[in-house]
């Protein structure tokens, strides 16, 4: 059976003031969602709203977006806060045509929060915790093995805000304040990549031929530390006996001229990835990136323009299970 696996960052899909009208965004996003024809879809930056001030947050905005599409009937798994529950912004959502056997949010299960002492904090001990959990979903797909989907959205390469160190939301009081904030963000991004890698190792230790997909917005390209850590290629481990542990970047098969998911100041980058375990990579048929007409996020930001659709392109792979 041919199965389509996809990831897409919807780019601040929420109801924060000052953005484009929700109806306009839905009109721009829905056709591309339908064009993906995904059986399993990992979404990032999905907002969650409260019907009333005391009630729980729900994915009512996402429901509106999915209305009239095949995804409206899919099973949903969502997470946003490392402590559990949904955040107002930047939630992770996995939509699946297949039954969900198990789901779990993972934050600091495999990696303890690092402890640092910053000069701007007077060298007080500070724990570095992830902004979001990983979402691990086990799906009953055709065949003898389930599909393990690890959905993630790693920290962006923007400095973590530090109390008393900023002049405005976008400017810092000092270079040391900015530099240590930037270092914290780097630790969060790489630390969560390590946690995802250790989760993959746990799955492969149970079944060397496990079907594992790590999908989402990694905020890093293949040559950068988070991806090198996750992929664990022989060039890095130095041991061919560990090659079965490597993850394959399925989007790397897309032709050079089409291989980009973000345009930043004219530079084409691949920040959104589908990483497959050996058994899943051997089932790979083809991968596409739907980046026609993709806007430049940097140019739009400098001009004060909000996204109508998304400044990220979705990535979709077909596998034969």
Q: How high is the pLDDT of residue 281?
A: 98
Closest CA to 194 of 231, 249, 157: 231
The continuous run of DSSP H or E covering 62 comes out as helix 60-66
Tokens describing residue 162: 């530090």
Closest CA to 174 of 120, 117, 116, 118: 120
317 contacts 250 by C-beta, under 8 angstroms: yes
Q: How high is the pLDDT of residue 273?
A: 98
Q: What percent of the chain has pLDDT over 90?
A: 89
Q: For 235-254, how does the pLDDT look when each residue is reduced to its tens digit (9 = 90+)?
A: 999 999 999 999 999 999 99
Judged against a pLDDT cut of 70, whether residue 114 lies above it is answered with yes
37: left (phi over 0), alpha (psi -120 to 50) or beta: left
Judged against a pLDDT cut of 90, whether residue 19 lies above it is answered with no
Judged against a pLDDT cut of 80, whether residue 54 lies above it is answered with no
Judged against a pLDDT cut of 90, whether residue 51 lies above it is answered with no
Mean pLDDT, range 117-133, rounded to an integer = 95
Question: Taking the CB of residue 62, how many other CB atoms lie within 10 A of it?
Answer: 23
17 alpha-carbon distance from chain centroid: 24
Judged against a pLDDT cut of 70, whether residue 18 lies above it is answered with no
> Count of residues for the chain?
321
b (16+ CB within 10 A) / e for 279-305: bbbebbeebbbbbeebebbeeeeeeee
- The pTM (predicted TM-score) of the whole model is 0.96
Binning pLDDT at 50, 70 and 90, where does residue 228 land? very high
Judged against a pLDDT cut of 80, whether residue 17 lies above it is answered with no
Of 41-55, 85-99, 265-279, 282-296, least confident by mean pLDDT is 41-55
Mean pLDDT, range 83-92, rounded to an integer = 94
Judged against a pLDDT cut of 80, whether residue 142 lies above it is answered with yes
129 alpha-carbon distance from chain centroid: 17
Binning pLDDT at 50, 70 and 90, where does residue 111 land? very high
| CA triple 311-316-320, angle to 5 deg | 175
d(CA 137, CA 181): 32
Judged against a pLDDT cut of 80, whether residue 29 lies above it is answered with yes
Parallel/antiparallel/unpaired status of strands 134-139 and 100-106? antiparallel
Tokens describing residue 7: 């990831």
Q: How high is the pLDDT of residue 307?
A: 80
């Amino acid at each position: 059976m041919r199965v389509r696996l996809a990831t897409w960052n919807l780019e601040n899909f929420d109801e924060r003031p000052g953005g484009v009208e929700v109806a306009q965004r839905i009109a721009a996003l829905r056709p591309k969602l339908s064009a993906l024809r995904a059986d399993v879809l990992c979404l990032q930056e999905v907002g969650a709203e409260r019907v009333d001030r005391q009630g729980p947050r729900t994915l009512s905005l996402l429901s509106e977006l999915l209305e009239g599409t095949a995804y409206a009937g899919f099973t949903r798994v969502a997470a946003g806060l490392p402590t559990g529950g949904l955040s107002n912004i930047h939630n992770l959502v996995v939509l699946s045509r297949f039954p969900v056997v198990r789901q779990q949010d993972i934050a600091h299960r495999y990696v303890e929060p690092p402890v640092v002492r910053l000069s701007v904090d007077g060298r007080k001990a500070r724990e570095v915790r992830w902004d979001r959990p990983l979402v691990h979903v086990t799906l009953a797909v055709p065949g003898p093995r389930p599909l393990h989907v690890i959905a993630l959205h790693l920290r962006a390469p923007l400095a973590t805000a530090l109390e008393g160190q900023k002049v405005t939301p976008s400017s810092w009081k000092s270079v040391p304040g900015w530099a240590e904030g930037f270092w914290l963000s780097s630790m969060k991004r790489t630390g969560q990549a390590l946690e995802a890698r250790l989760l993959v190792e746990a799955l492969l230790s149970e079944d060397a031929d496990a079907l594992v997909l790590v999908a989402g917005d990694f905020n890093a390209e293949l040559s950068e530390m988070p991806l090198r850590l996750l992929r664990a290629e022989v060039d890095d481990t130095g041991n061919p006996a560990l090659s079965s542990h490597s993850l394959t970047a399925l989007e790397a098969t897309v032709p050079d001229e089409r291989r980009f998911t973000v345009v930043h100041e004219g530079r084409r980058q691949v920040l959104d990835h589908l990483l497959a375990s050996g058994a899943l990579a051997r089932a790979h048929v083809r991968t596409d990136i739907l980046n026609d007409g993709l806007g430049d996020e940097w140019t739009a930001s400098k001009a004060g323009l909000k996204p109508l659709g998304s400044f990220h392109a979705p990535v979709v792979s077909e596998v034969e299970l």
